[in-house]
Chains A and B, each alone.
Chain A
Amino acid sequence: MIDNFYFQDIVSSLVKTLYYERGCGAYFRVTMVGTDFIDRQRIEGKTPEQVIENCVKVLIQNDMFTNAAYQKDESGTFFTFEIEGCRHLPVEARLKEEGVPAFVCPPINMILYKIRQLINLAVEIADITVNQNDGRCIVRVVVFKQEDV
């Protein structure tokens, strides 16, 4: 019988393959992974905080993760997310064991995509740290207004 382990095998193999093709540049090829899902949900918000909270609510309702908390620095640009009980964690844990650094985070992709779409701010994942032992990931991102140059 096909179970979750099977899909975790498949996803981790594909992610690993992409990493071996593109190295660190693989990150740039996966920034939209997951956005189809969030596009099918009704998300609103006029500030990054509102969008984040509304996305988190929907993602918890859909069993994507059990909790997501965040803090932002004094500049208001640098956000640190802590995600617990994420569906993708087993995949990331396996990749980490195999020496592949974490470069894709679908739930954060979704949140950032909505921030960009709804309030037109520039968004980027800065880094992802997987802590499989305590069942959580730390994802640092930047959210900012990009000046016209």
Chain B
Amino acid sequence: MDDILEIMKTRRSIRRYKQKDVPDELLEKIMEAGRWSPSGDNAQPWRFIVVRDPETKKVMGKIATEGSGRRFTAEYFTGRMQERFEGLKDPEKRAKAFRKLISGVVSSFLADAPVIIVVCAKLDVWDVPYDAAMATQNMQLMAHALGLGTCVVVAPVSDMRDDIKTMKLLNVPHGYKIVAPLAVGYPDESPNPRPRLPLNDIVYDEKFGQRRKK
């Protein structure tokens, strides 16, 4: 049991990949992990598109970059971004972070991932987002266990304006939606763990807000 917790705790969102092919056998294992996810009514609404074509990845990266660029430019002009980065005191680092966000470059790495597994879901089931999200998580954990890195990049699909373009690019038909484009590849970075809230701050006894007696 400790092994699975270790896999969960050491998984990171990877945004820089080695330019090395991911063998089909590993991708099969990742998607097999997705296939065994729970789903309401056992509907198994997930469908996976494996994207390796550089041109398709390039277009997805461009859509992602534009989407993030719009979003973060708006955030910058309202001052919310400055508030969010209040803790970052070094002006040079701060400016660099802002540039990365405002330009949308923060999401452009999607184009450089060796593989993108686009997790889609059928809409004629009861629990679409939950089912597909659980499949995505299973796949991320399996990829990590296999020595691969992943990152969910929602930028090409979170905004309807971008979603429409990405659906068209990938020929996703009506009756389906894209839930999570998942970048996959061999990690070329080892990010530190992001901070986690302590259990005591997020677990309640019996009713919301009631602190645990410990």
Q: What residues of B have a CB within 8 angstroms of the CB of A25 in the complex? A: 158
What 1/0 mask marks residues of chain B from 73 to 116 whose CB sits below 8 Å from any chain A CB? 11101100000000000000000000000011100100000000
Q: What residues of B have a CB within 8 angstroms of the CB of A30 in the complex? A: 160
The total of interchain contacts (Cβ-Cβ below 8 angstroms) comes to: 53
CA distance A75 to B53 in the complex (A): 39
CA distance A54 to B161 in the complex (A): 23
Given known pairs A149-B104, A149-B108, the reply for A144 and B73 (CB within 8 Å) is yes
Q: What residues of A have a CB within 8 angstroms of the CB of B129 in the complex? A: 21
> In the complex the two chains form, is A127's CB within 8 Å of B78's CB?
yes
Q: Is B70 in contact with chain A by the CB < 8 A criterion?
A: yes
B108 nearest CB neighbor, chain A only: A149
How many residues on B have C-beta within 8 angstroms of the other chain's C-beta atoms?
19
> Which residues of A are interface residues toward B (Cβ below 8 A)?
21, 25, 28-32, 73, 77-78, 116, 122-127, 140-142, 144, 146-147, 149
> Which residues of B are interface residues toward A (Cβ below 8 A)?
65-66, 69-71, 73-75, 77-78, 103-105, 108, 129, 158-161
Can you offer 26 A-B residue contacts whose CB atoms are under 8 A? A25-B158, A28-B158, A30-B160, A31-B161, A32-B161, A73-B77, A77-B77, A122-B69, A122-B73, A124-B70, A124-B73, A124-B74, A126-B74, A126-B75, A126-B78, A127-B74, A127-B78, A140-B78, A141-B74, A142-B70, A142-B74, A144-B73, A146-B69, A149-B65, A149-B103, A149-B105
